[in-house]
Structure 1
């Protein structure tokens, strides 16, 4: 199994790079997250996951071990293939994917292109306990079921703020102040947005 590549960057596209290692060029599928972290210099290092299928052998590359771990967790879920997992890691950072799953945030996961409600729920059911255990996180489902947060988020959307940005700010506020009122959450969010 190829676990990492270190070599000269020959070709760089948002979804694919070619890395030359000792005269051999490896085509590596990457996420937009990894693409944004690739240096402009010629020498690069990527952590990899080698996928062998009946019709293809594909090498996926990641900027960090954590991103590769999230990819491997995602592809372990029934109905989530490698391209879907890569899309998830392109739409959200690995940390956002982890936090969305831990918080049972179906809406965020479902906002990713190609992910429906059933798949989003399956990802959460299959991975939540593993993520909480692996990363020593406490159960953060309180944030996702907080009605004050939901009302504040709805109000911020009505005011014209983007849902993702408002949701991120509201989640942070509720984590700091779990008993905050709707008005307190909105006031704090307006200061940060």
Structure 2
């Protein structure tokens, strides 16, 4: 798995960048936010998402990890693929997208090319609980990484089955994952049982 690519910028368009990494040119699809962040620079570091399909091997690049986490959340929504997620991230900055989702502004989200009202509503419903905004700055589930969302969901489900209320379970699990982001689900549950 490629986590990031760092190198010189060989070619740059608003939709794609070719990063020269030791003589090997990687064609990376980017959003307008990332384009703005790397425009005018001679080199860059892009956080990568690899989309490997039967007929294609596509790289999506992001100027920061937060934008990549939002991209991963967006493509987890049914009906949203890589290009649509990139289109959303081109139309809205990560902070704006977090605000649109948390304020349930489907009208603004459907102004993005290729997004209808039903898709906009699905994005909001699916991601509202995963995205929280704090004092204008956006944080994903209290700083939780997208890959921790699965551990979070499993731990909360297990604690709920054990008879604990979902709301306090969610709070305790989120705190534990902030302290130990790489903790496996078993450890999270054990720590949560001590605190509940």
Alignment of structure 1 residues 68-107 onto 2, 5 Å: 68-107=68-107
Q: State the shift of 1:130 in Å.
A: 1.2
| Distance (Å, rounded) in 2 between the aligned partners of 1:88 and 1:22 | 32
Corresponding residue SS for 2:78:
coil
Q: State the shift of 1:94 in Å.
A: 1.0
Larger helix proportion, structure 1 or 2? Answer: 1
TM-score, length-scaled by structure 1: 0.68
Deviations 1:63-121 (A, max 9, x none): 11000000000000000010000000001101111111111111111111110010001
TM-score, length-scaled by structure 2: 0.67
Residue 119 of structure 2: aligned partner: 119
Name the Cα RMSD after superposition: 1.5
| Distance (Å, rounded) in 1 between the aligned partners of 2:119 and 2:82 | 14
| Distance (Å, rounded) in 1 between the aligned partners of 2:80 and 2:46 | 23
Structure 1 unpaired stretches of 5+: 138-193
Structure 2 unpaired stretches of 5+: 133-138, 144-196
Q: State the shift of 1:39 in Å.
A: 4.2
| Distance (Å, rounded) in 2 between the aligned partners of 1:13 and 1:86 | 14
Moved over 4 A (4+): none
Alignment of structure 1 residues 25-40 onto 2, 5 Å: 25-40=25-40
Q: Is the 8 A contact 2:129 2:141 kept in 1?
A: no
Q: State the shift of 1:34 in Å.
A: 0.5
Residue 193 of structure 2: aligned partner: none
